[in-house]
Structure 1
């Protein structure tokens, strides 16, 4: 029987300077600590211009990735949004280019954020949901040609003025599209924050996603929405426990062992620790070790079923 969780790794982060040498160093560090996988944060590496790939920089990316013994996934644009009617053609063009990048580096998953729009009435939300589903079906077909899966990630809203699907609705979208190259991505902290904000049972919400899920984002938090947004240093947000903190496992209050002993995901799932590798370099090895224990809980339960 295939293990449920088959690879564990880290997101690479971005330099913010379009300097691919930083990516090379980050991948080397992940190799050193024994990670299986890396999620390439290619939205920050200046590889696409106006929806088109930049061949020289893509060639350099390929060379860098070949130097490291890692499995790869790719995080698409943070602003990717199939509810963005005004820019939908551009949004699709960038996702197509991201899928081509996946093919170039042998990545098996492209992370795509669930949509966002100004809050509308029910009819307006239904129309936005339909727009997103049509785009997901179209791009999942493109992904199939590259042997890549789109992993549709749950996000949180910043307030009642903003439309975001709940985690359960994200899963409903994926099940409605019903495409083999589309799965859900559970970001546990995002779900915790959004469900706190909306007064929902977050454990029930992620439970509803599990069977459709083929990719995981793991990082700790306290599930507190952005009741304040101005911090002079990131450590101030950590001290208050407010927001999407991307903390090492154990720094927040997410009950990881309970969750991974309970939930069952799709076979071949990759678990990505979304930590700031520079800020938390001293905590990477322990977070990786804990993630391996969580994966073992999940895999052992599947074997016993």
Structure 2
């Protein structure tokens, strides 16, 4: 049996729903029609879980919709997922457990989970937050193992110095500390760019530090500019100024994708997901072509090394 390529699937995430599943089928179909290999389902907006329990009627309809398409699925969990949130940790774990069950029901192999967020503080306080998150991740990795699912821990950025977020290299250390094959890293390149700019960290160093433990990638473009403005009347204004996590088509920002993909080494079977919404439907095909070229750089280098 041939080993999977480092980057084996390239695709897009679905647009957030309104909670009624009405737009989900059309969103999946649009991605399939582009010729993508994988669809990441944004289940944070679909009202499939209530108080940590799956809503069975909706889950049945959800599974029926997914079953109409012959394509690989991954799932994006809650945006607010946060295993540093001690006050709500039981609720957080219950929701992740339900998401893992939903992954199993539709054959999705990966659940995206955001890395933790807490109030910034002293070194002992931050160490405590890290340990709380690691214990919860270890517990949920056991649950994921029972379903054959991988949890992909995504690097995020802070919006102010009052907020604690781990840099990608620190997210990688969290993944390694848990030491489970059912927990991998997820590099979000734009998030890394913004946080590197905000903290003065070296973007290339952070990406390369996280890559070896990463089994999932999120691509979308930006200028790596932190949120130094907190109000825009239209998304087009943020795009015009290049501020924030813009989720732009590839090439609209200035992320050095080619230079980074000439070096990164990721885990076999990694999915590359573009979080580029239907706002940019006209640009998605071009982004897919560019993303496949980026994946080919990694895969060709891997094949040459193995020859």
Q: Which band: TM-score by shorter chain?
A: over 0.9
Which residue among 10, 13, 16 is the counterpart of 1:14?
16
Q: What is the match of residue 232 of structure 1? A: 233
Q: d(CA) in 2 for partners of 1:181 and 1:197?
A: 31
Secondary structure of the equivalent of 1:86?
A: helix
Cross-structure match for 1:301? 301
Structure 2: runs of 5 or more not aligned = none
SS at match of 2:79: coil
In 2, Cα distance between equivalents of 1:259 and 1:186: 12
Are 1:288 and 2:288 counterparts? yes
Give the drift of 1:70. 1.3
1:221 aligns with 222
SS in 1 for 2:233: coil
Gaps of 5+ in 1: none
Deviations 1:139-198 (A, max 9, x none): 001000110000000000001000111111000000111101000000000000001000
CA distance in 2, matches of 1:14, 1:201: 32
Aligned residue for 1:18, secondary structure, equals coil
CA distance in 1, matches of 2:142, 2:301: 33
Could you tell me how far 1:123 is from its partner in structure 2? 0.5
Distance 2:90 2:151 in 1: 18
CA distance in structure 2 between the partners assigned to 1:125 and 1:33 by the alignment: 44
Match of 1:119 in 2: 120
Q: Aligned partners of 1:275 and 1:2: how far apart in 2?
A: 26
**RMSD, matched Cα:** 0.7
Structure 1 residue 21 displacement after superposition: 2.4
Could you list the structure 1 runs, at least 4 aligned residues long, displaced by more than 6 angstroms after superposition.
none
Displacement of 1:19 after TM fit? 2.4
Partner of 1:197: 198
The answer to whether structure 1 residue 157 and structure 2 residue 158 are counterparts is yes
Question: For residue 4 of structure 1, what is the aligned residue in structure 2?
Answer: 6
Q: Secondary structure at the match of 2:145?
A: helix
Secondary structure of the 1:294 match is helix
Q: Secondary structure in 1 aligned to 2:58?
A: helix
Q: Which residue of 2 aligns with 1:39?
A: 40
